[in-house]
Amino acid sequence: MPDDKKVIVALDMMDPVVARDMAKRLSGEVFAFKVGWPLILGSNADIVVDLSRYSKVICDLKLADIPDTNSWVTQKMRENGAWGIIAHAFVGGDSLEAVVKAAGNVKTIAVVAMSHPGSSLFINKKAKELVRVAAGAGAYGIIAPGNDIKMLKKVKKIAVGLKILSPGIGTQGGSASDAIASGADYVIVGRSVCNADDPKNEVKRINAAINTVLAQRNGPAT
Amino acid sequence: MPDDKKVIVALDMMDPVVARDMAKRLSGEVFAFKVGWPLILGSNADIVVDLSRYSKVICDLKLADIPDTNSWVTQKMRENGAWGIIAHAFVGGDSLEAVVKAAGNVKTIAVVAMSHPGSSLFINKKAKELVRVAAGAGAYGIIAPGNDIKMLKKVKKIAVGLKILSPGIGTQGGSASDAIASGADYVIVGRSVCNADDPKNEVKRINAAINTVLAQRNGPAT
């Protein structure tokens, strides 16, 4: 049976105790967890080892350095059991290739568009070229905003062979169903799950909504 | 007396013991130390506290995230005694302003150009615009390559009121004297100091070469 879980929960807290507790509660219901520098700094890189007991862990590092430095950081996260690493494509193919190479079996996911106002100045104008950089570097997937359907559809058209992971769902305005219907393979949800009265139920609700969209797309089972 | 030390030593190692030893040896001779994610991951953010005993510490994080995340990471490094934080300008003014705001008295230094081949694809083409983003966000300074004199001179012309910190010196091909003569305020040197037989003497030698350039520029003392 294919993995029908399409929700990645962003653990956007700094306290490792809170993060571990949330991961434990959501274990078995999510596709993966996403952790960033604030949580890693709130503890250390071992948090990735800990959280990997509950699901796959994607390290959202937004790496944007020279190839050597990108490589060293990726290597460390690989050693700690990360399933995926998020890096910027904006710094060029060589920096992204350094991540792919150091990552080995760990998935490299490249940022090609963002959703905050400042991203319209440079990054989002280059989204299509950034998808090509990601594909050229051998990335597994790309990050494209789930609350900007026009952008999502634009990158989907050319993101052949690349998985699309979409943040900006829930509190940030995007709808999981719309994002999936527009080409996202996975949705990344933070606050609207972690701040829910029943986070596990909220993930189930989002997954159910997504599976309705997928069932409509795929037609009736035969 | 003004601080006549113009050398920032990049502690590009992952081992905190080696980094602390080098910092101790170079204490009093450098303008600051630069540390990045590899060293922070090799220990934890407390390494910034430790190294601050020996000189100012610039955290080269190349932050490139949404405003909230940039802000959280900056706040953490500020609490740990960082003197400066390096962030990307290409993610836009709001993300950089979030760093400046969270940094308070800590200096924000924005990347406007890099020196690896991939940087020519997007970032370096936008260097002038990135300088304007840095100035607009209230940054203290910018990062521009010391081994690309043409680029350095180009950004110097418009970097009014911004300090210029230049990496790429030594092993990476740039000359400290040339960089300072072309507009850099400080040079960032890594391997050619840390791998020298006598690192302290190497820093002194670079500082002396820089001071010769500055003396020529300023004319004879009266």
Residue A159 maps to a domain: yes
The pair of three-digit structure tokens given for residue B93, joined into one six-digit string: 């003014």
pLDDT of amino acid A221: 59
Query: Count of CB atoms within 10 A of residue B175's CB?
Result: 19
Would the pLDDT of B2 be above 80?
Answer: no
pLDDT of amino acid A171: 82
Would the pLDDT of B1 be above 60?
Answer: no
Q: How far apart are CA B56 and CA B47, in angstroms?
A: 12
How many domains is chain B partitioned into structurally?
Answer: 1
Task: Give the mean pLDDT of chain A.
Answer: 94
Chain A closest-CA separation from residue B23 CA (Å): 20
Following CA atoms B23, B28, B33, B39 in sequence, which dihedral angle do they give, to the nearest 10 degrees? 10
Our answer to whether residue A62 is catalytic in this structure is yes
Angle (CA) A210 A212 A215, round 5°:
110
Q: Chain B partners of A66 at a C-beta cutoff of 8 Å?
A: 114-116
Backbone φ and ψ for B162, nearest 5 degrees, come out as -110, 130
Average pLDDT over residues A162-167: 98
pLDDT tens-digit readout, A18-39: 999 999 999 999 999 999 999 9
The pair of three-digit structure tokens given for residue A123, joined into one six-digit string: 């990054």
Residue B2 maps to a domain: no
Closest CA to A123 of B131, B64, B139, B73: B64
Average pLDDT over residues B12-33: 96
Would the pLDDT of B24 be above 90?
Answer: yes
Residue A1 maps to a domain: no
Would the pLDDT of A1 be above 50?
Answer: no
Q: How far apart are CA B124 and CA B147, in angstroms?
A: 13
Would the pLDDT of A165 be above 90?
Answer: yes
Residue B88 maps to a domain: yes
Residue B1 maps to a domain: no
CB atoms A91 and B114 under 8 Å: yes
Would the pLDDT of A211 be above 80?
Answer: yes
CATH number at residue B73: 3.20.20.70
Suggest the residue from B40, B46, B65 to mutate for an interface test with chain A (most A CBs closer than 10 A). Answer: B65
CB atoms A76 and B42 under 8 Å: yes
Q: How far apart are CA A154 and CA A127, in angstroms?
A: 9
Q: Chain B partners of A73 at a C-beta cutoff of 8 Å?
A: 37-38, 41
Chain A closest-CA separation from residue B111 CA (Å): 10
pLDDT tens-digit readout, A37-67: 999 998 888 899 999 999 999 999 999 999 9
Q: Are A61 and A87 within 8 A, CB to CB?
A: yes
Helix, coil or strand: residue B189: strand
> pLDDT-derived band of residue A3, with 50, 70 and 90 as boundaries?
low
Residue A93 maps to a domain: yes
Q: How far apart are CA B108 and CA B71, in angstroms?
A: 12
Closest CA to B45 of A45, A21, A69: A45
- The full DSSP string for chain A is ------EEEE---S-HHHHHHHHHHHTTT-SEEEEEHHHHHHS-THHHHHHTTTSEEEEEEEE-S-HHHHHHHHHHHHHTT-SEEEEESTT-HHHHHHHHHHHTTSEEEEE----SGGGGTTGGGGHHHHHHHHHHHT-SEEE--TT-HHHHHHHHHH-TT-EEEEEEESTTSB-HHHHHHTT-SEEEE-HHHHTSSSHHHHHHHHHHHHHHHHHHHH-S--
CB atoms A122 and B90 under 8 Å: yes
pLDDT tens-digit readout, A102-114: 999 999 999 999 9
Find the domain containing B152 and state its range: 7-218
Residue A56 maps to a domain: yes
Would the pLDDT of B222 be above 80?
Answer: no
Q: How far apart are CA B188 and CA B173, in angstroms?
A: 12
Residue B195 maps to a domain: yes
pLDDT tens-digit readout, A92-138: 999 999 999 999 999 999 999 999 999 999 999 999 999 999 999 99
How do beta strands A7-10 and A186-189 pair?
A: parallel
How do beta strands A84-88 and B163-169 pair?
A: unpaired
Q: Rounded to an integer, what is the distance from CA B47 to the centroid of its chain? A: 18
Q: Are B112 and B80 within 8 A, CB to CB?
A: no
The pair of three-digit structure tokens given for residue B5, joined into one six-digit string: 């030390």
CB atoms A96 and B118 under 8 Å: yes
Q: Are A143 and A110 within 8 A, CB to CB?
A: yes
* Nearest chain B residue to A95, by CA: B118
Average pLDDT over residues A193-218: 93
pLDDT tens-digit readout, B48-102: 999 999 999 999 999 999 999 999 999 999 999 999 999 999 999 999 999 999 9
Q: What is the ipTM of this complex?
A: 0.95
